[in-house]
Amino acid sequence: MDYFALKVRSDDGGRIDEYPCTGPILWKFAEGRSLAKDFPMGATVSFSDSHPERRSLYDFQPNLMRALLVSGRARKLIESLEVTNAEWLPVAIKDHKGKVIGPDYAFLNLLGAEDAIDLERSVYKMSSLEKDQLSHIRKLVLKPDSISPHAKMFRCTMQRHFILIREDVHAAFVEAGLTGLKLYSLEEWRGQEL
């Protein structure tokens, strides 16, 4: 089974600076734990005033929080793939003037994590802030036997912002032409920003 790293990328996508102000505390979004009971109903996020030239909507919307903010189209596809650890936190996206332009978006909160990274064969740097987390992975080697056969899209235990997807999910994303993301094979991974 092959896996691919998923990174949100776009040059002109409207940038989101922050989570809804009445939701869970920022750090909780990277823990892989359920946030649904603390997430506000009718939540909105807005394009950053710091980037007024960035106005485009994508299936994976760029944001400074390193979150997976996905369109309704991407959500339907992910749900059809039976990604069982997906928790959806619905939001509407507003443009720079406060007008709702993306009514059917959601933060994809992937629950749990997989102990997928082979620390003996990978080249990495440990985080100085979070002692149990990697801050940078220069060379990525996985431990396939440590990954659940049911894990289709998941966080890594040692780097919870790092998202891997299985080859069948990759194929579905490519076939659907989902936008706003870059998918890297393990051979292509050269320490891109986590």
What angle, rounded to 10 degrees, do the helices at 167-176 and 72-80 form?
140
Q: Are 162 and 140 in contact (CB under 8 A)?
A: no
Within a domain: residue 83?
yes
DSSP secondary structure code for residue 15 in this structure: P
Q: Residues with Cβ < 8 Å from 3, sequence gap 6 or more?
A: 116, 142, 147, 164, 165, 166, 167, 186
Provide the domain limits for residue 65: 12-110
Q: What is the largest CA-CA distance in the chain?
A: 50
Task: Provide the pLDDT for residue 193.
Answer: 58
Strand partners, 171: none
> pLDDT (tens digit, 9 = 90+) per residue, 14-59?
899 999 988 898 889 989 999 999 999 999 999 998 888 888 999 9
Within a domain: residue 39?
yes
Task: Provide the pLDDT for residue 131.
Answer: 84
Within a domain: residue 150?
no
Within a domain: residue 98?
yes
Q: How many domains does the chain have?
A: 1
Give the residues of the chain that fall short of pLDDT 70.
192-194
Q: The whole model's pTM is what?
A: 0.93
